[in-house]
Chains A and B, each alone.
Chain A
Amino acid sequence: MARRRRYSRDPLGLRRALSGLLLPGLVCAMALLAALALAGAQGAAALAERWQRGAAAAVTVQVPDAEAGRLQRALESLRAMPEVAEAQAMPEDRLNALLRPWLGDAPAITVPGVIELRLHDARTDPVLIGDRLARDVPGALVEAHGLWVQRLAALARSLQAMALGVLVLVAAVAAAVVAVATRAGLAARRDAIEVLHGLGARDGYIAGRFARRLGLLAASGALVGTAAAVPALALLADLAGPWVGSEGRLASLAGLPWPGLLALPPVAFLVGWGTAQSTVRRWLRQLP
């Protein structure tokens, strides 16, 4: 009875022909890499987003000799500019607190007034704002740290693209590994396949048996690999918390790219299934 039950699921004896831990092990390692790439992609995206939204539009303006009139004039002229979303004078106590480490409590030194700007569009050239402002308030200086923020954001974006590239590469390598395993299985079961073919089994039947077996092997490997990746990713997310603004273990665990991680085993199944299907069907075409 046991033998009979064994048949109906496995007429080609693939459980023995395609066994061992090599394929699931390789897929497991690749799922780990894919999980890392997923987390990397998400992290880079979050950083780029945050930098661009938060700091990127911030431009500061220094107004020397900031007696009340000049600062006020500068504010008015800035607020009148269409590209400026918001202009705010930095409160004196905050400014002092910022400068204290360098200047100490030295009331004798006159500090410039500082205005923080938010621009509608980060790509606006701050030099033009500075030129126009200088006409109204001579000596005002525009400081554009938006530039390096933009470069950082670009870096984050290319990291994200790279991580996606790694995902594609991992999928391709997984497909290649499955193809090699499928060929090994075909070689091991060549006689059995020829017998079934001779008995009138359709290509789809034989390919389906291989595809199901290899899909399951790949999915099981991916499941283990993904499960192994989660604690490592949670630790990384925890360490990266201060930069991306999440606080606490639970928050960083929730911040993992769960949809992507949960999709890894099914995607591995599909890669294994599809690769086996096409490999076996191509191989079967040599039979009459």
Chain B
Amino acid sequence: MVRFEAVGLRYPGGGPHTGSWGREALVDVTFALPQGSFTWLLGHSGAGKSSVLRLMHLALRPTRGEVEVLGLRTARAKRASLAPVRRRIGVVFQDFRLLPYLSAFDNVALPLRLAGQPEASLRADVQEMLRWVGLAARAEALPPELSGGEQQRIAIARAVVHRPALLVADEPTGNLDNHQARRLLALLREMNRLGTTVVVATHDEDLVARFPAPSLLLQDGRLHDLDGARGIDAAEAPAWPGPQAPPPTSEPDGAAALDTGSAAVSSSGSAAGPDAGGAGDSARGWTEPPPRPIGRPERRLRDPWDG
């Protein structure tokens, strides 16, 4: 699903054309996330959370090492082969990145239109998604006419409307109040429950405590071992670094079911989770993700905004 292998990342320093490169923003980052997992990405400001996420949604390529996303090894992949994989990834940015001149409806419809879905079938899907985030009435509003929280929900709707295989959120609760943040997290857990692999970067510890799940902790561009378990890079681990194996969040109210103990696993190749299915997946290398649930959102999604 997502696999980082001794990834190093440098940003160009001193302007794009000077040819000089800054220090490594990520150093030897190695981990793997199984299909259908929910993972927190934690770390202080500047630790490299956004950088990891950018590598995951193919906004960057690693300077060294290998990043494999949805079966594509991105380090040396042809540029044209990235676009189809991007279409299977949903991204929620802290600053939303909505197109200000398009209505809420058109913003949410973007991924479907890029995928070439015909207008007739697209309309129902988008309206359903807008209803899901509680903004059906504002479909024709432009983003600048919406509140921050409403824009946030439009951004979420856009990220999940095409039922991505991987959902990546970079500090999605950054400018939401507690209540809204919890509702947002419930949305993300719901997506996860339906089979989407979810990665959320945050430094909101309250939120993590409320929704315990396996986490990766970054410090200064390195993966930090939470429980003193050996890091994968140090391990004489199998050729394929074992992923952490979070219990599938199949229980409807995902968050409550998870115990904090299993959530503390981080980047540990040796520690297979209690769930053998996940580990078995990893041994096979996740070449083929299991089929994603298909169907209209209205039949599969509960509306957390209903209260």
- A residues near B (Cβ < 8 Å) are 3-4, 7-8, 11, 13, 16, 191-192, 194-203, 205, 285, 288
Residue of A nearest to B82 (CB): A288
The answer to whether A16 and B101 touch across the interface, beta carbons within 8 angstroms, is: yes
Verify if B140 is at the interface (C-beta below 8 Å from A): yes
* Residues of A with C-beta under 8 A to B103: 3-4, 7
Q: How many A-B residue pairs have CB under 8 A?
A: 69
The answer to whether A199 and B110 touch across the interface, beta carbons within 8 angstroms, is: yes
- A245 → B minimal CB distance (Å): 59
* Residues of A with C-beta under 8 A to B83: 200-203
- B residues near A (Cβ < 8 Å) are 57-61, 79-80, 82-89, 91, 97-99, 101-103, 105-106, 109-111, 113-115, 119, 140
Per the bound structure, the CA–CA distance linking A13 and B98 in Å amounts to 13
Residue of A nearest to B91 (CB): A198
The answer to whether A11 and B102 touch across the interface, beta carbons within 8 angstroms, is: yes
The answer to whether A4 and B114 touch across the interface, beta carbons within 8 angstroms, is: no
Residue of A199, A202, A203 with most partner-chain B CB within 10 A: A199
Can you list 11 A-B contacts (CB < 8 A)? A7-B109, A11-B102, A11-B113, A13-B101, A191-B97, A198-B59, A199-B114, A200-B111, A203-B83, A288-B59, A288-B79
- A13 and B99 contact, Cβ closer than 8 Å, known pairs A201-B83, A288-B61: yes
Residue of B61, B99, B109, B115 with most partner-chain A CB within 10 A: B99
Per the bound structure, the CA–CA distance linking A287 and B301 in Å amounts to 35
The answer to whether B114 and A196 touch across the interface, beta carbons within 8 angstroms, is: yes
The answer to whether A198 and B102 touch across the interface, beta carbons within 8 angstroms, is: no
- A204 → B minimal CB distance (Å): 9
Per the bound structure, the CA–CA distance linking A83 and B29 in Å amounts to 91
The answer to whether B113 and A202 touch across the interface, beta carbons within 8 angstroms, is: no
* Residues of B with C-beta under 8 A to A201: 83, 114
- A197 → B minimal CB distance (Å): 8
* Residues of A with C-beta under 8 A to B105: 3-4
The answer to whether A196 and B106 touch across the interface, beta carbons within 8 angstroms, is: no
Sorted from nearest, which 10 A-B pairs have the closest CB atoms? A200-B87, A200-B86, A13-B101, A7-B106, A3-B103, A202-B83, A200-B83, A195-B97, A192-B99, A201-B114
The answer to whether A202 and B111 touch across the interface, beta carbons within 8 angstroms, is: no
* Residues of A with C-beta under 8 A to B110: 11, 195-196, 199
Per the bound structure, the CA–CA distance linking A13 and B84 in Å amounts to 23
* Residues of A with C-beta under 8 A to B106: 3-4, 7, 11
The answer to whether B99 and A195 touch across the interface, beta carbons within 8 angstroms, is: yes
- B197 → A minimal CB distance (Å): 17
The answer to whether A199 and B111 touch across the interface, beta carbons within 8 angstroms, is: yes
* Residues of A with C-beta under 8 A to B111: 199-200
* Residues of B with C-beta under 8 A to A203: 80, 83
- B102 → A minimal CB distance (Å): 6
The answer to whether B140 and A3 touch across the interface, beta carbons within 8 angstroms, is: yes
* Residues of A with C-beta under 8 A to B98: 195
- B249 → A minimal CB distance (Å): 26
